[in-house]
Structures are given as structure tokens and as C-alpha cells.
Structure 1
Amino acid sequence: MSEDSALFDKGLPIRREVLGAEYVDGSMAKADDFMMAFQRATTAWAWGWAWGDPTLERKTRSMLNLAMLTALGKTPEIKLHVKGALNNGLTVDEIKAVLLHATAYCGIPAGLDAFKAAHEVLVAEGALPGKK
């Protein structure tokens, strides 16, 4: 078994636990041969190697991801990782604090996009009440 295969096998259950099996399995099922190369790489490297390292708790990793994704302006990934942050035990207040911290360093436009994305997910997941 190659190192990448071992990391893929290590990363797949972690990825499912954090992002949800429905999302992960759907992404894998939709992947053709071309996109499967990316699915294998991200599962092995991000989830097997990075998330599979026991040094940091998953809650901490979720905080880091939200801050980095805010800095990069990756709104779809912010939405995905807000759901993952909830799965990893972050509270709404902790998510808000991470996004405020990122806003201070990344700027108001990046922070606003992150807040809007997070709010959408938090309402959809029932962590925040919807608009009345």
C-alpha cells in the first residue's frame, strides 16, 4: 500500500465525521476519473495528513480553517467548514469570535463575506433562529 493510499484510508473517516458523510460520499460519487484525482489528494493530504495529526484538536483545526478561509475569501468553503465547526463542537459564539478575529486581520470586506456565509449556515443548521 502506498503512503498516499494509507493517508486516504486514514483521512476518509475523518473527512466524513467533520463534513458529513452525505457531503463527502456525494462528492466522491459525482467525481469522474479527472476529479477523483482531486478527491484522493484532498482526502489524503488535508484529511489524512493534516487533520489526522493528533497534535491539534479538531475544534482548534476548525478555528484555523475558518480564519484561513476568511483570509482567502473562499465563501463556499467557509460554509462547508462552519458546518464542520459545529460538528467539531464549536459554539456560535466561538465561530463569531474567530470570524471577528479574522476580520481584524483580513479586513472588513473579507469579514463581511465570512459572516454572511456563516450566518446562512448557522440559520440552516438551526444554531441561530431564522429571520422573523
Structure 2
Amino acid sequence: MSDDQALFDKGLPIRRAVLGAEYVDGSMAKADDFMMAFQRATTAWAWGWAWGEPTLDRRTRSLLNLAMLTALGKIPEVKLHVKGALNNGITVDEIKATLLHATAYCGIPAGLDAFKAAHEVLVAEGALPGKK
């Protein structure tokens, strides 16, 4: 078995646990040969290699991801990883504190975008009440 295959096999269950099997399996099912190269790479490298490394727990990795994705302005990924953070047991207050910390270092526009994205997901997931 190649190293990439071993990392893929290690990463796939982690990716499913964090992001949800429905999302991950749907992404894999929709991928043609061209996009499957990316699916394999992200599963092996991000999930098998990075998330599969045992030093940091999944909660810590979720908080790091939210801060880094805020810094990068990757709002669709912020949304995805807010849901993943909930799956990893992160509370709404911990998400808020992480986004406030990222806002202090990344700036108000980046923080505002991340807060809006997180709020949308938290309401959709039932972690926050919708506006009355």
C-alpha cells in the first residue's frame, strides 16, 4: 500500500466524523476523475496527515481552522468548519471567542464575514435560535 493510500484510509473516517458522512460521501460521489484527484489529496493530506497527527485533539484543530479560515477569508470553508466544530463538541461560546480573537488579529472585515457565516450555520444547525 502506498503512503498516500495509507493516509487516505486514515483520513477518510476522520473527515467523515468531523464534516459529516453525508457531506464527504456526496463530495466523493460527485467527483469525476479530475476532481477525484483533489478529493484524494485533501483526504490524505489534510485529514490523514494533519488531522490524523495525534498531538492536537480535534477540538483544538477545529478552533485553529476557524481562526485560519477567517484570516484567509475562506467563508465557505468557515461555514463547513463551524458545522465540524459543533461535531467536535465546540460550544457556541467557544466559536464566538475564537472568531473574536481572529477579528482582533485579522481585522473587522474578515471577522464580520466569519461571524455572519458562523451565525448562519449555527442557526441552521439549531445551536442558536433564529431571529424572531
TM-score for the superposition, normalised by structure 1 = 1.00
- Give CA-to-partner distance per residue, 1:80-109, whole Å, 9 cap, x none: 000000000100000000000000000000
Distance in 1, matches of 2:125 and 2:93, equals 15
Q: Deviation of residue 37 (structure 1)?
A: 0.1
Asked if residue 92 in structure 1 is aligned to residue 92 in structure 2, the reply is yes
Where do 5+ consecutive residues of structure 2 fail to align?
none
SS at match of 1:127: coil
Q: Deviation of residue 7 (structure 1)?
A: 0.2
Distance in 1, matches of 2:53 and 2:124, equals 31
Q: Deviation of residue 55 (structure 1)?
A: 0.3
Asked if residue 65 in structure 1 is aligned to residue 62 in structure 2, the reply is no
Q: Deviation of residue 24 (structure 1)?
A: 0.1
Q: Deviation of residue 4 (structure 1)?
A: 0.2
- Give CA-to-partner distance per residue, 1:102-123, whole Å, 9 cap, x none: 0000000000000000000000
Q: Deviation of residue 9 (structure 1)?
A: 0.2
What root-mean-square deviation, in Å, do the aligned CA atoms of Structure 1 and Structure 2 show?
0.2
SS at match of 2:127: coil
Distance in 2, matches of 1:104 and 1:92, equals 18
Distance in 1, matches of 2:33 and 2:57, equals 33
Aligned positions of 1:11-26 closer than 5 A: 11-26=11-26
Distance in 1, matches of 2:82 and 2:26, equals 19
Distance in 1, matches of 2:27 and 2:90, equals 25
Where do 5+ consecutive residues of structure 1 fail to align?
none
SS at match of 1:68: helix
- Give CA-to-partner distance per residue, 1:56-95, whole Å, 9 cap, x none: 0100000000000000000000000000000001000000
Distance in 1, matches of 2:104 and 2:69, equals 14
Provide runs of 4+ in structure 1 moved above 3 Å.
Answer: none
Distance in 1, matches of 2:131 and 2:29, equals 35
Q: Deviation of residue 30 (structure 1)?
A: 0.2
SS at match of 1:122: helix
